[in-house]
Structure 1
Amino acid sequence: MGKENNLSFHLNERQRDIVKMINKNGSVRVAELSSTFNVSEETIRRDFEKLERDQLLRKIHGGALKVEQHTETPQMHRQSKNIEEKQVIAKKAASYVEDGDIIALDASTTALMMVEYIKDRNLTVITNSIGVTMELSTEDHIRVILIGGYLSKASMSLVGNFAERVIEDYHVDKFFFSCLGVDIDRGISEMHEDQALVKKQLISISEKLFLLADYSKFGEKSLFRLCNLSILDYLITDNKVSMNSIREINKHGINIVVGEENPGAV
């Protein structure tokens, strides 16, 4: 906030409001700000250019991010958050995997945790996660297809246009993926565009969709929208999700599954 206060006298009222909004929400969209302030999208983009020069935001395609959020959260940090809840979700998700399935796993820590519970099955696994690939590299009965692309070091995954083009040629029975936001109105959203685009491509080629989301994701809205909740076959979560959230999701005809406590080893 110190930088914002020091530079505020250089900003007009709209620009100051944009900074407040991005500091509060973590991200903003050009189209939404254009509507909010009743100005053209080009005017908002010029605001972004000034605010980025002042290091008050970081521009991305279609919007901007809070400066502290310009990179993905490192995988080691993500793995240390809500570990028990993610283990519960991972074990429940693995129970839907059957011999002969072609499954896709994203680069989320919850999907990585799933691997321990599916090693005994004969599968084809499509993923952009280096962690998932390494975990399955010694399992002769599991065929692993690592989607190519450029390396995102924070998440240890491969992303980019090449990855998206390769995915087009595949068929997936079941896609297991996570996100940063689950909201009834906005749907499922992701903070990072590269990850969002790979997930969208996998969603488009998958027969069944399994969202893996712990309680902390509910009610959150992130920058890039992946899809509506209504297209999910299953939403798998933990028992810390509020009953109000479960009832609201059930009202929309979505299968929400709550994993059991103490997943243990398989």
Structure 2
Amino acid sequence: MKLLRYGAKGAEKPGLLDADGRIRDLSAHVADIAGDALSPAGLQRLAALDPASLPLVPGTPQKDIRLGPCVGGTRKFICIGLNYADHAAETGAAIPTEPVVFNKWITAMCGPDDDVEIPRGSVKTDWEVELGVIIGTGGKYIDEAVALDHVAGYCVVNDISEREYQLERGGTWDKGKGCDTFGPTGPWLVTKDEAGDIGNLKMWLEVDGRRYQDGSTATMIFGVAHIVSYLSQFMSLEPGDVISTGTPPGVGLGQKPPVYLKGGEVMRLGIDGLGVQTQRVVRS
């Protein structure tokens, strides 16, 4: 299934993308794509529905229908840094021996096609296409062998990053990663049965039509099961939590000379089978 949330900011409704690429309303069955709806039993109930029996939402998603973040009720937006060997190399960083963990604030989450705002004073705003993991069943001290049982599905995330804030202003990475709109999420949550081989998905990102990132999850250092298990050693994971798992090479920081967003650009990015995002870059 491809589950989504559509409508105005803060008033999104739950929906399902049917085989014809149209939205079917799920409001009669779930309050949101969140909480118990993300559990194995909740997903099974939704999968049992006949999409043709659900109300059709007029319009075309991502054209005349706005999509919000594909999951609601998120309490943690956790990110993994330097998780692609080729990306670590382009930044001059050593390959980590354990996952590098940082956070985005929940206010960073936005719809897949919402504007991305460059913060006031920013001089080094950058892009990163990433595989997002959405937790369906919570837990802690999760064994790696069963870690994927805790996953509801996958999505596209653009891990927008302000490099000066992240790397040159002292402290942790978080303040360069969690600015408002720095986490476009979606367009939809793709359940595990439809997501394909998550260890070998092609992913790409373009700015104004120029392709900068053209990679694959095959170069991830730590796989999804390891990341879910690892994080659960330090915190309880909860339904709706989003884990962004790192980016392949081609970020602005890695260009020679570096290239950063100034405002007015259009970013377009996607992952095979998980959908495409498009964002206009604006200045705050």
For the aligned pair, the TM-score class normalised by the smaller chain equals under 0.3
Normalized against structure 1, the TM-score is what?
0.26
Q: Which has the larger radius of gyration?
A: 1
Q: Which has the higher helix share?
A: 1
* Greater relative contact order (CA < 8 Å, ≥ 6 in sequence): 2
Normalized against structure 2, the TM-score is what?
0.24
